[in-house]
Amino acid sequence: MADLSCNVAGIKAPNPFWVASAPPTDKLYNVERAFRAGWGGVVWKTLGIDPPIVNVSSRYGAVHYNGQRMMGFNNLELITDRPLEDNLREIKQIKQDWPDRAVVVSLMVPCTEKDWKYILKKIEDTGCDGVELNFGCPHGMSERGMGSAVGQVPEYIEMVTRWVKECSDLPCLVKLTPNITDICHAARAANAGGADGVSLINTVNSIVSVDLDLMAPEPTIDGKGSHGGYCGPAVKPMALFMVTEIAKDPETNNLPISAIGGISNWRDATEFIVMGAGGVQVCTAVMHYGFKIVDDMIDGLNNWMDEKGYQTLEDFKGAAVKNVKEWQYLNLKYDIKARIDQSTCINCGLCYISCEDASHQAIRETKANGGRHFEVIDDECVGCNLCMFACPVPGCISMERVDSGTEYQNWTTHPNNPMRVDQN
């Protein structure tokens, strides 16, 4: 049994699986159930200053893809709609009842030092393990100068982070919005402000669909709609990229990361950890299937670590970061070709047409013995992987390495590169 305990920015938990700040962490009842199911920590649903906000009815939109429901999910909910004192009392209670689990409190208040000081004083009394500054919420709050309105301006991020660090000793995670051109600027600002770590991503600005009769974006509220925040499996690639960017950036590569975005199982989580995250947070998958999914997360990560001989998360944290290179340093001599396993091929022709119409005309159709037959023309195949992905039969097309494996040349020295550097 491997040791799954984690320490993200000084916040300790028995495992790296935390429930993200959202409806599942909205109150004692849910968080209690989360802990009973085995979650290592929670980030409490974002608190604000009373009076509490109000939410609309019809709050979520979703993208279902190919029979998979909620591949993408969006919401136009705001921060907690419960009175501050109720939340504080329950946070205190849960921390008392579950001292070994991480209880982090997410905060969002107007952009004034006085308000931040006020709320920090209030929550220090709960015994919570840390705070997360919600600079990410893309709707409703940003119009009031909070959430992503702060997160999109690095100077504000730095300023607010500094206020928080000045008046509280609690470990402080800054939650970043992905609705920005370069995530590194936001992460550097948090770092400069003294943040103990960053968490990302919050939701992505989105309109998931349009009702063509009402002529309004969905979800529709009395015939109207608004943009929302997108999350779920669909955003995982963007989140992974942004986490990686921060882990690679010389200015922030030591900044602890709590990764969020489309994480549904142990494998997703592990991908974020090898890209530098110290732990992960999950929202949509819990909203879809309930807290019980953590069983596979814990068990799957543990079994994988046993299999690989890893004892602690530190043994592989960030292990893949060094292999993320800029394009110009990739080996141009590396060469792969598509291989069709004729014994599993169902002769649908999708490999042919994808390559024919969109790639390199590297698949040939022949009529042999009255049947159709598809084969790769090695000389034309550039190894792009398109046919492999288009093929409906898993494993039918694979890519085989055909170069010698000993040669290396990248773009920086390539003859076609007008700005090449001399090799010697």
Active site residues: 137
Shortest distance (Å) from residue 78 CB to ligand FMN:
7
**What's the closest the beta carbon of residue 150 comes to ligand FMN, in angstroms?**
12
Of 198-206, 239-247, 308-316, 391-399, the window that binds ligand SF4 (rule: CB under 6 A) is 391-399
| Interface with another protein, residue 267, by CB under 8 A | yes
| Residue among 77 and 158 whose Cβ is closer to ligand FMN | 77
Smallest separation, CB 238 to ligand FMN (Å): 10
Query: Residue 347 touches which of ligand FMN, ligand SF4, another protein, none (CB < 5 to 8 A by kind)?
Result: ligand SF4
- The option from another protein, ligand SF4, ligand FMN, none interacting with 348 (CB < 5 to 8 A, set by class) reads ligand SF4
- Nearer to another protein by Cβ, of 162 and 339: the residue is 339
Nearer to ligand FMN (CB atom), residue 229 or residue 383: 229
Q: Which of 220, 226, 265, 413 binds another protein (CB under 8 A)?
A: 265
Query: In this structure, are residues 91 and 102 in contact, taking their beta carbons and an 8 Å threshold?
Result: no
For the record, the structure tokens of 404 come out as: 């010698």
Q: How far apart (Å, rounded) are the C-alpha atoms in residues 121 and 164?
A: 10
Cα–Cα distance for residue pair 376/209, rounded to 1 Å: 39
Partner in contact with 349, chosen from ligand FMN, ligand SF4, another protein, none, beta carbon below 5 to 8 Å by kind = ligand SF4
Stretch that binds ligand FMN, among 29-37, 218-226, 256-264, 416-424 (CB under 6 A): 256-264
Q: Using alpha carbons, select from 282, 48, 263 the residue that is nearest to residue 144.
A: 48
**CB hemisphere CA count around 177 (13 angstroms):** 25
Minimum distance of ligand SF4 from residue 353's CB (angstroms):
9
Region near ligand FMN per CB under 6 A, out of 32-40, 149-157, 158-166, 281-289: 281-289
**Of these, 351, 355, 381, 386, which contacts ligand SF4 (CB under 6 A)?**
351
**Least distance CB 362 / ligand FMN (angstroms):** 37
Out of 106, 206, 252, 258, which residue is the one contacting ligand FMN (CB under 6 A)? 106
Q: Would you give the binding string for ligand FMN spanning residues 285-324, x where CB under 6 A is met?
A: x---------------------------------------
Backbone angles phi, psi at 221, to 5 degrees: -120, 105
User: Could you tell which of another protein, ligand FMN, ligand SF4, none binds residue 263, using a CB distance below 5 to 8 A set by kind?
Assistant: ligand FMN
Instruction: Using CB under 6 A, list all residues that contact ligand FMN.
Output: 20-23, 45-46, 73, 75, 77, 79, 106, 134, 136-137, 175, 202-203, 231-232, 235, 260-263, 282-285
Contact residues: another protein, CB under 8 A? 68, 265-267, 289-290, 292-293, 295-296, 299-300, 303-304, 307, 393-395
